[in-house]
């Protein structure tokens, strides 16, 4: 595969935002009625409409804690801001606020050939990337599946596998003897020591390899590559959000935030250097630096207990890494299907839904499908999905409507919570306008996610103009661009 395609969502400004049919003005308040109660209501999903009104009321009551109102979201925002400040000051906080050591964005002079590695999901990608004047002129990609045994085995085995894949890839290109600079996108929380080194703090998503916490993953990769006789130098170690920010800023210099909303969720933004305390390299000439928030862990210290429900407790109990990255379990693609499953199981227990879905059957793609049908006023595919999930139980139209309602409430909460994070970053960045580059399957494929996010961000960050931009391939192009930035910085170093 070669040649890159840049995906660019149309910009949507505040003026185009509508909420439940109301125009929202630049202050984030509805035009129709300025009272506080109305602003609150704009966050709530529409009521469940069933012929059986008593059943609908009971279901709504069961789900009430999952429907967050404006006041609760403001409280979440306040806690997020406090945690963010504490994290930057290196005080106890559930937010890592990691210095990525990326101090500038692409300026269009980026040149050269690079290898880029992308590790974060069940597929590991190895890429050859060529840049000319900051533009991607060639991209070859090979994808390698990482089996569960490797994801849950030893760190040493995993990194030997990664190096084997890189070797296989360069051999397939006939370039096994060439010298390369490499950008390693490692999408897990790290303590970074420089732009090219960092230790794994903890595994997230579907990885839990032993013996790697506290290990410099760039150095380990470097060793495994050298052991195979490859002339490849790891120049940059970055998170996928940083790559997305850099790739987004390359498309539009107003981009100052990078977000992933996919299997996991996280954000990265340009912070004033005076507010960042963790530095291990000279930074006299640096004004702003990209900070990786690691918001998936928000609330792991208990500061968000006021939004936690029994449903969340159960999803957490069923997860690979319990009591860790609890916020991610409210918002990201890995968990939305599971959240819907657990809610339906709870309703079934109370006699409000005819069957308990099989654990692990409903995926976030099914949630998206139910939401899409709900927009169209259809139930056919929802019933099919439910039949797959619930076996032979008799299911009717009203059950499909209940499942769609649950999918909507869960999706709406995810959109609200990720919007709180983005809105908080917008408020503290104090720029005239900020582009938010977003990547990830949930953002791309969920039929309502983008619209909800535009709406809620405007409501939560009034008077802060922004635009959301789909920015694909942060871990490929973003990684190569960052490696080129690192090379530029190294040349300019005294």
Q: How far is the CB of 247 from ligand GLC (least distance, A)?
A: 14
Residues 311-330 that bind ligand GLC (CB under 6 A): 328
Q: How far is the CB of 380 from ligand GLC (least distance, A)?
A: 33
Q: How far is the CB of 254 from ligand GLC (least distance, A)?
A: 22
On the 0-12 / 13-18 / 19+ scale of CB atoms within 10 A, 31 is exposed
Residue number closest to ligand GLC, CB atom: 264
Q: Which is nearer to ligand GLC, 334 or 408 (CB)?
A: 334
| 120 binding ligand GLC? (CB under 6 A) | yes
Q: Which is nearer to ligand GLC, 45 or 120 (CB)?
A: 120
| 98 binding ligand GLC? (CB under 6 A) | no
On the 0-12 / 13-18 / 19+ scale of CB atoms within 10 A, 345 is middle
| Angstrom distance (rounded) from CA 488 to CA 486 | 5
Which residue of the set 35, 142, 157, 205 is catalytic? 205
Q: Which is nearer to ligand GLC, 413 or 464 (CB)?
A: 413
Q: Which is nearer to ligand GLC, 180 or 330 (CB)?
A: 330
Q: Which is nearer to ligand GLC, 204 or 482 (CB)?
A: 204
| 131 binding ligand GLC? (CB under 6 A) | no
Query: Which of 28, 45, 106, 189 contacts ligand GLC by CB under 6 A?
Result: 189
Q: How far is the CB of 265 from ligand GLC (least distance, A)?
A: 6
- Is 205 known to be catalytic? yes
Which residues have a Cβ under 8 Å from the Cβ of 288 and sit 6 or more positions away? 103, 104, 270, 271, 272, 273
Query: Which of 188, 330, 456, 467 contacts ligand GLC by CB under 6 A?
Result: 188
Q: How far is the CB of 453 from ligand GLC (least distance, A)?
A: 16
How far is C-alpha 352 from the geometric centre of its chain's CA atoms?
Answer: 33
Interface with ligand GLC (CB under 6 A), residue total 16
Which residue of the set 41, 58, 118, 240 is catalytic? 240
Q: Which is nearer to ligand GLC, 240 or 472 (CB)?
A: 240
Q: How far is the CB of 304 from ligand GLC (least distance, A)?
A: 16
Near ligand GLC by CB under 6 A, which window of 68-76, 185-193, 380-388, 419-427?
185-193
Residues 200-239 that bind ligand GLC (CB under 6 A): 204-205, 239
Query: Which of 187, 326, 382, 412 contacts ligand GLC by CB under 6 A?
Result: 187
Residues 236-265 that bind ligand GLC (CB under 6 A): 239-241, 260, 264-265
Query: Which of 30, 70, 155, 296 contacts ligand GLC by CB under 6 A?
Result: 296
| 474 binding ligand GLC? (CB under 6 A) | no
Q: How far is the CB of 141 from ligand GLC (least distance, A)?
A: 18
Q: How many CB atoms lie within 10 A of CB 112?
A: 14
| 266 binding ligand GLC? (CB under 6 A) | yes
Q: Which is nearer to ligand GLC, 119 or 136 (CB)?
A: 119
Q: Which is nearer to ligand GLC, 118 or 288 (CB)?
A: 118
Q: How far is the CB of 262 from ligand GLC (least distance, A)?
A: 6
Active site residues per annotation: 205, 240
Binding site for ligand GLC (CB under 6 A): 120, 187-189, 204-205, 239-241, 260, 264-266, 294, 296, 328
């Amino acid at each position: 595969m070669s040649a890159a395609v840049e995906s660019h969502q149309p910009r949507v400004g505040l003026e185009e935002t509508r909420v439940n049919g109301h125009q929202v003005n630049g202050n984030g308040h509805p035009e129709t009625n300025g009272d506080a109660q109305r602003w609150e209501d704009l966050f709530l999903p529409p009521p469940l409409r069933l012929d059986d009104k008593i059943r609908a009321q009971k279901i709504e009551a069961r789900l009430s804690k999952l429907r967050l109102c404006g006041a609760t979201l403001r409280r979440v925002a306040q806690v997020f801001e406090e945690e963010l400040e504490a994290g930057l000051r290196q005080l106890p906080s559930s937010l890592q606020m990691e210095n990525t050591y990326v101090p500038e964005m692409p300026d269009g002079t980026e040149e050269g050939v690079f290898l880029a590695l992308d590790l974060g999901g069940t597929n590991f990608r190895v890429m050859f990337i060529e840049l000319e004047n900051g533009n991607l002129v060639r991209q070859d990609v090979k994808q390698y599946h990482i089996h569960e045994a490797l994801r849950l085995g030893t760190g040493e085995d995993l990194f030997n596998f990664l190096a084997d894949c890189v070797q296989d890839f360069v051999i397939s290109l006939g370039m096994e003897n060439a010298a390369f600079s490499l950008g390693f996108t490692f999408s897990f929380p790290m303590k970074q020591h420089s732009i090219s080194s960092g230790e794994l703090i903890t595994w997230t998503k579907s990885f839990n390899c032993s013996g790697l916490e506290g290990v410099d993953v760039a150095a380990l990769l470097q060793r495994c590559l050298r052991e195979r006789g490859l002339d490849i130098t790891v120049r940059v170690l970055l998170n996928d959000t940083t790559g997305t920010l850099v790739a987004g800023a390359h498309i539009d210099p107003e981009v100052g935030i990078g977000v992933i909303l996919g299997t996991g969720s996280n954000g990265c933004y340009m912070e004033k250097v005076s507010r960042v305390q963790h530095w291990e390299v000279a930074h006299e000439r640096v004004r702003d630096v990209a900070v990786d928030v690691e918001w998936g862990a928000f609330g792991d210290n208990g500061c968000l207990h006021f939004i936690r429900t029994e449903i969340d407790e159960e999803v957490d109990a069923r997860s690979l890494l319990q009591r860790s990255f609890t916020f991610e379990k409210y918002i990201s693609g890995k968990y939305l299907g599971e959240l819907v499953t657990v809610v339906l199981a709870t309703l079934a227990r109370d006699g409000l839904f005819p069957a308990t879905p099989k654990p692990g059957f409903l995926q976030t793609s099914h949630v998206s499908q139910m939401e899409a049908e709900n927009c169209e006023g259809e139930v056919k595919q929802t019933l099919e999905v439910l039949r797959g999930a619930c076996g032979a139980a008799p299911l009717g139209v009203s059950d499909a409507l209940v499942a769609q309602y649950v999918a909507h409430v869960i999706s709406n909460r995810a959109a609200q919570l990720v919007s709180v994070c983005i809105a908080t970053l917008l408020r503290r960045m104090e720029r005239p306008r900020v582009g938010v580059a977003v990547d990830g399957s949930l953002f791309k494929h969920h039929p309502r996610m983008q619209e909800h996010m535009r709406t809620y961000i405007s409501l939560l960050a009034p008077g802060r103009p922004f635009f959301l931009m789909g920015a694909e391939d942060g871990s490929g192009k973003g990684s190569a661009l960052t490696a080129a930035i690192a090379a530029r910085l190294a040349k300019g170093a005294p």
